[in-house]
Amino acid sequence: MDTLPVVAAIDGSDDSLRALDWAREAARQRDAPLRVAHVRQYAAWAQPDVLAVGPPDPDDDPVLDEARARLDGATDGPTVEYLPLEGVPAAALPELGLEAQLLVLGSRGRGGFASLLLGSSSLAAARDAECPVVVVPRPGREVHGTEPAGPGPRVVVGLHVDSPDEAALDFAFTEAALRGARLQVVAAYPWPVPGWAAPGQIVPPVIDEVAVESETRVLADGFLAPHRERHPAVTAEPYVVPGDAAGHLVAASAGADLVVVGRHRRRLLAPARMMGSVAHAVLLHAASPVAVIPPSPPED
């Protein structure tokens, strides 16, 4: 069975070229081929006055030519395939994930508003693709707050002990193993917990925070146990903290190799796939690349 490629979606922007470099290294680590794709949205041949000329030569793509020049001099790299496409990027990019083990993009492309932290095409791919999507941010993002980091490579993953995302955990452990990195598992619990005595009346919580933290840690260790068995070389460190999960994940992104978050499972009555507020916030603000992992298919 052929190994699925790592796909880098580029548009010639600096953001996408950084994503290309990240994807090349990811393909090398996985011993997988690299597929470099460019979706041309506003092709000249699509204009009414030049329809008679017909579509351009698929090999005549300056953006892919730039990628070739960037990769040709690299040594010990993966085999590379170049894929020119025509269409709307927000629709075409998720389709690339149907035949990929990983889809990698920059946080913003050439289009859109310069002030946006996340482009619409990157958001659409992270929300809709069937494979994990890595969004590589622009360098220099500042994050607020500090989380314990320590030396060496580090992968960060969020763990919600009330509804653990096994697909995200599996990806995070695998990525940490590939990188020889330790895994920082952020398990946030809500605090303070409001207690409701009557409609409209809030009373102080009677729950012991130490007990909540201890229970969260025990649950986190339980969910991590089977993954630790499959990846004995990975040191997984639970980081149990009160408050907002997204804020802690963003703070932990400083100096991290990668932050891994799960995407919401599509609900029966929902009209479309959902990103989830935590994943969306981390994509917008993290200083490191962010991997958004689709949920595992539901069991029969």
Quick: pLDDT tens for 226-240: 999 999 999 999 999
pLDDT at 29 over 90: yes
DSSP string, 71-137: HHT-SS---EEEEEEES-HHHHHHHHGGG-SEEEEES--SSS-TT-SS-HHHHHHHHH-SS-EEEEP
Tokens of 115: 């002030």
* Residue bearing tokens 């409209």: 200
Of residues 156 and 119, the one with the higher pLDDT is 156
Which two tokens mark 239? Answer: 């980081």
Burial of 246 (0-12, 13-18, 19+ CB in 10 A): buried
Map residue 31 onto helix, strand or coil. coil
For 68, phi then psi, to 5°, come to: -60, -45
Percent of the chain with pLDDT over 70: 77
Angle separating helix axes 209-230 and 166-179, nearest 10 degrees: 60
CA distance from start to end of the chain? 26
**Predicted local confidence at residue 236, as pLDDT:** 94
pLDDT in tens, 163-220: 889 999 999 999 999 999 999 999 998 877 655 555 666 555 556 778 888 999 999 9
Q: Are 37 and 7 in contact (CB under 8 A)?
A: yes
Interval 15-21 mean pLDDT: 92
pLDDT at residue 52 in the model: 40
The structural domains of the chain, ordered by start, are 6-136 (3.40.50.620), 154-293 (3.40.50.12370)
Average pLDDT over residues 81-102: 91
- Which has more pLDDT, 139 or 47? 139
Q: Is 297 exposed, middle or buried (0-12, 13-18, 19+ CB in 10 A)?
A: exposed
β-bridge mates for residue 37, sequence order: 9, 83
